[in-house]
Structure 1
Amino acid sequence: MFYKVAEHIFEVNACDEILSQMSNYAPFAVDSGAESSCKNSVFSLDVQNEVAPEYTEDIRQDEEGQVIICGRTSDGLPAFDFWLFGKPMGVLVCEKDFKHAVLLLGKEKIPAESSNFAVNNALMVLYALATAGFETALFHAAGIQYKGLGYLFLGKSGTGKSTHARLWLKYNEGSELFNDDNPVVRLFEKDGRKFAVAYGSPWSGKTPCYKNVEMELGGFVLLSQAPFNKISPLRGVSAYAAIMPSISGMRWNKNLADGLHQTENGLASCVPVWFLECLPDEDAARLCCQTVVREIQ
């Protein structure tokens, strides 16, 4: 099966049982017979019921019981071991250029929710790495569309990104959620003007919001909890520093890090960035909306 996310096409080769579980990818499916560009896909993933090779751990990430162990096989191939609440879900082994990878689920049959977790994580990781050199960034953010433009709410887990997005939906009429966890952003240039476009994706965290939509990006808003509501513009290095932590990537790989830096620098220079210290209330949503929309106008 072929899928297109933010105009990047990728291929997934798996058994029918696994493909049938990927309902969140349905809006992004591409007819391989009608889409000649499928042969130019950015990566392909094979899902196999095989045992993963041994690897050497480099680094691990742990967020709310979801662990990704990053390492290298004896052949030097990048490996990503996915765990959920102490249980192994699968190991992703990639070619060094990230154009092809294999997700190994083990010999024993695992529950559908486990294989789905592994496939989703494998595709998110592979997508972020394979597109890093194409001025593309997979964000950890909540995305709202308002008056034709997209706005991404950034911040650490637990900061209130989803809460603030829901407040926009409730108090800023015309707002629409287009992704609640992992929107994609791409940089473009036309007639000498640099701009960014935000896209929905098949990855949306706990809120099922899998919309195949795109819109010009109107701004980033970095959130911080506070006993008051205040919004301030960020520019230059401060804007870059606000954006960078929310982008998925393998920053210890120089080639990938260079690609991410180019994208982050471009975004910080052409997209307004704001810092919102706020309460989880109506006033915060209205203040944010009025400020960022006025900036665009």
Structure 2
Amino acid sequence: MQRTRFVIADIGLELSSQDYLPLMAVLPNFENFYVEEFPFDITVIRFEFIEDDFVIKEDDYKLLSDISIVWGDNFKFMESENSYVTVVDELVRADDTVWIMESDKTFMNSRIYFDRKKLEGSTALSWLIMVAFGQASLRYDTALIHASVVIKDAQAVAFLGKSGTGKSTHSRLWVKYIPGFSLLNDDNPAIRIVDEETVYIYGTPWSGKTHCYVNKKAKLMSLVRLQQAPYNRFVSKKGKEALMELLPSFTALRWNKEIFSTMINLLENIINSVHVGHLDCLPDQDAAELCYENIK
């Protein structure tokens, strides 16, 4: 059995298969997170690769969703009594390739059914691993968020917002105009509560279109939701208002009450320890400096 191991946000990922798979070549964005052995007593999310077809019996599965922001209608998410099944129809080398991931109800153990000939050039595999990691990690005070993050001296600020809002642009403005800041992640960092008062944010292998796969962590100082406006204005948020600023950027299965409730509890703990703000802004230097001064 071949086993390939990674550590992301202090959580282990183990990918296993009966025969050799060139996983490091297929998952180049994971390179900085590779480990030969796991640290002692680490939580491990496991994936087994099955080179075979997975037969979906419609009577055994309930369709929960057939649309995805990433895959459009080339996607299905289904539930049976004991598992979830994620189906992605990916275009690889002008051929349709169907990827299927069967996960237990906790997402701690998944089987990925694949065609070896279609491994090279695929983006679906990385995405499927991200889906399982995002759900399984919630029970360990960890969450993937949709955000762009800048870091300086082991302290970080995360920018939230709808796609197209300008998160990446705002990060670039900080890097350009505010000395000492660099980009940690540009799409899907991980947040982890390590004790009741300390929240860290981590780089991950998932950074959208920006090749920024930094294996670092930093203390999270602020989460700021951006909104485009013809002016620059910063407002700090607390309590329920802070929760509503964060909720759209966190992901949990709304069909799984346990996972969804875990995410809400995690959010409540985060806003007790991390500053939350809202920035109406233009894509300019003044917006970055206004945001920085308010957080500082």
Question: For residues 87 and 159 of structure 1, what CA distance do their matches in structure 2 show?
Answer: 32
Which residue in the other structure is 2:120 paired with?
Answer: 112
Give the total of aligned pairs: 283
1:49 Cα shift?
A: 2.8
The equivalences for 1:134-149 within 5 A come to: 134-149=140-155
CA root-mean-square deviation: 2.1
Which residue in the other structure is 1:100 paired with?
Answer: 109
Question: For residues 61 and 226 of structure 1, what CA distance do their matches in structure 2 show?
Answer: 30
Q: Which amino acid aligns with 1:145?
A: I
Query: Alignment identity in percent?
Result: 29
Of 231, 256, 259, the match for 1:256: 259
The equivalences for 1:61-140 within 5 A come to: 61-63=67-69, 65-66=71-72, 68-73=75-80, 76-84=82-90, 87-106=96-115, 109-110=117-118, 112-114=120-122, 117-140=123-146
Does residue 37 (structure 1) correspond to residue 40 (structure 2)? The answer is yes
Structure 1 residues 158 and 70: alpha-carbon distance in aligned structure 2, compared to 1, 3 A threshold? same
- Deviating above 6 A after TM superposition, structure 1's stretches of 4 or more consecutive aligned residues are none
Structure 1 residues 100 and 111: alpha-carbon distance in aligned structure 2, compared to 1, 3 A threshold? closer
Unmatched segments (≥5 aa) in structure 2:
none
Q: Which amino acid aligns with 1:277?
A: D
Q: TM-score, normalised by structure 1?
A: 0.88
Question: For residues 29 and 18 of structure 1, what CA distance do their matches in structure 2 show?
Answer: 11
Q: Contact 1:82–1:121 (CA<8 Å) still a contact in 2?
A: no
SS in 1 for 2:194: strand
The equivalences for 1:54-65 within 5 A come to: 54=56, 55-63=61-69, 65=71
1:283 Cα shift?
A: 0.9
Structure 1 residues 165 and 79: alpha-carbon distance in aligned structure 2, compared to 1, 3 A threshold? same
Structure 1 residues 242 and 208: alpha-carbon distance in aligned structure 2, compared to 1, 3 A threshold? same
1:245 Cα shift?
A: 1.3
Q: Which amino acid aligns with 2:259?
A: L
Which residue in the other structure is 2:51 paired with?
Answer: 49
Question: For residues 218 and 87 of structure 1, what CA distance do their matches in structure 2 show?
Answer: 44
Unmatched segments (≥5 aa) in structure 1:
none
1:281 Cα shift?
A: 1.0
Question: For residues 166 and 96 of structure 2, what CA distance do their matches in structure 1 show?
Answer: 28
